[in-house]
Amino acid sequence: MDKYSNFEQLKTCEQVGVDYRLRWRLGDSRIAILSIHGGEIEPGTCRIADAIAGSEHTFYALEGLKSEGNSALHITSTGFDEPTALEIVCCSEIIISIHGCAEMNPVVHIGGRDLDLRGRIQDHLREAGFMATDGLNPRFVATNLANICNLCGRGMGVQLEIGRGLRSQMFRDLTPEGRQHPTETFFRFTKAVRDAIEPFADIFVEDTPLEPTD
């Protein structure tokens, strides 16, 4: 059971800049890569999301900064309603939400309502040598319409639940210092996802860029 059911509750009890921070960077595409459990909440997910987004796509993260107890900052994907995140996803056509689960197997579980994109990402990850499962674990199917990955303009997105075992292989280790040293596995994983979404990068581009407010 999460301590906070929405962002307003979290904001009331936790101090921005001390306990958590928000970061985002706007891209030209209508693709957004999210890490709503970044920093010390689900270590490594923010670095992964940032690399997948690159300079082309929008990046968003809520990062836990506490020295301990960052799990208290976890807001479930169906209840995550931080205003900037909602503005970003509602202006986007493709959402990929990056999460981390406790599984020690080097696996990534692919969920979300966008079945075609799920399959494409799975194919690219498998071709790159990763164990990628699609909808096999009911905990990670992410098909709820309220899931933040499905709140984009098309009403369907993708969620990647990356096991701790795989995330551990992507960095020297999962400490804050260790995550500053990504491995070949990190670059191979993020490239596979970027390659999977690359054909869609120019499809939804509009003249007016995203402009979420502070």
Domain ranges of the chain: 7-198
What is the pLDDT at residue 203?
Answer: 67
Tens of pLDDT, residue by residue over 85-99, are: 999 999 999 999 999
Spatial separation of the C-alpha atoms in residues 53 and 138, rounded to whole Å: 27
Q: Are 5 and 78 in contact (CB under 8 A)?
A: no
pLDDT of 110 > 90? The answer is: yes
Residue 58 CB neighbours (<10 A):
24
Query: Could you tell me what percent of the chain has a pLDDT over 70?
Result: 94
Taking the model in full, what pTM does it have?
0.94
Q: What is the CA radius of gyration of the chain?
A: 16
What is the pLDDT at residue 137?
Answer: 82
Spatial separation of the C-alpha atoms in residues 6 and 8, rounded to whole Å: 6
Structure-token pair, residue 208: 């007016």
CATH for 7-198? 3.40.630.100
Tens of pLDDT, residue by residue over 24-46, are: 999 999 999 999 999 999 999 99
The region, left, alpha or beta by phi > 0 then psi within -120 to 50, assigned to residue 44 is left
